[in-house]
Amino acid sequence: MTGSLVIAGLGPGAEAMITPEVAAALDRASDVIGYIPYVGRIAPREGLRLHPSDNRVELDRAVHALELAAKGSHVVVVSSGDPGVFAMASAVFEAVEQGPAHWRDLDIRVLPGITAMLAAAAAAGAPLGHDFCAINLSDNLKPFDLVLKRVRLALEADFAMAFYNPRSTSRPHQFASVLGLLQAVAGPERLIIFARAVSTPAQEIRVVPLRAARPDVADMRTLVIVGSSATRQAGRFVYTPRRA
C-alpha cells in the first residue's frame, strides 16, 4: 500500500487559473488537507475526505498529511497561490526533516500554482517586468526589524517589490511603518499597487503614488506591489520597463 503526498497550489482564486496537473491530482486524491477557506474550494465527492483546519497550525497539518500518506492515502495538501511561496510546502519539508526517517522516502511532489503577485501584476499590467523581490510582511515568524531591513536593501537595489500579508488587525501599525520607510526613501511619486481579492469577483486594483497611499487600504486579502524607480504608467496600465 503505497501512499503519496502532493502539495498543490490552487492559484489566487479563479477556477480558470488552476493548472490541469493540480486538477488531476485533486481528482485522484483520497484526502485533501488545508486551511479552511482553501479546502472550501474543493468540490466534495464520494471517496474524498476533506480535512479543513484553522490557520497557524501549519506544522500540525503537515504532520497529519505525512502520517496519512505513510499509511497509504493519496493526500493533497492545498495552498492558495503557489505552495512554495509563503505557503505549505516549507512546512511539509520542515515536518519531513523532523519526522521519522521513512517519511523521506515517501512519494512527495510539489505542484506549482499562480502565486498572488503574478495575478496581481497581470491585473495591473506588468509591474514585475524587471528584477523584483517578494517579502512576507507578517512578523509571526520573524522579527519586524528584519522586514524593515529587507525593504531598505530592496530599495537600495531598486527592486520592484511584492508584499504578502501586508496587514492584519493584530498588527495594524507595521504596514504604516513600511509605508513611511518607502515614502522617505523612494519619494512621493513612486507607484504602489493595492490588489485585493485578485482574480475573484471581488477583485479591486488601486494604483496610487506613495504620497496618496493609506495603510488602511491593505488587509490580509491584499497583495501590495511597489514599483522600482523605473516603474511607470501607460494609460491604465502600470509596467516596469525591461531595461530597469
Residue with smaller CB distance to a second copy, 25 or 32: 25
| Closest distance to a second copy from the beta carbon of 238 (Å) | 8
Residue with smaller CB distance to a second copy, 46 or 143: 143
Residue with smaller CB distance to a second copy, 49 or 224: 224
Residue with smaller CB distance to a second copy, 49 or 178: 178
| Closest distance to a second copy from the beta carbon of 193 (Å) | 12
| Closest distance to a second copy from the beta carbon of 30 (Å) | 21
| Closest distance to a second copy from the beta carbon of 143 (Å) | 10
DSSP states along the chain: ---EEEEEE-BSS-GGGS-HHHHHHHHH-SEEEEEHHHHTTSPP-TT-EEEEE-TT-HHHHHHHHHHHHHTT-EEEEEESB-TTSSSHHHHHHHHHHHS-GGGGGSEEEEE----HHHHHHHHHEETTSSSEEEEE---SSS-HHHHHHHHHHHHHHT-EEEEES---TT-HHHHHHHHHHHHHHH-TT-EEEEEESTTSTT-EEEEEEGGG--GGG--TTEEEEE--TT-EEETTEEE--S--
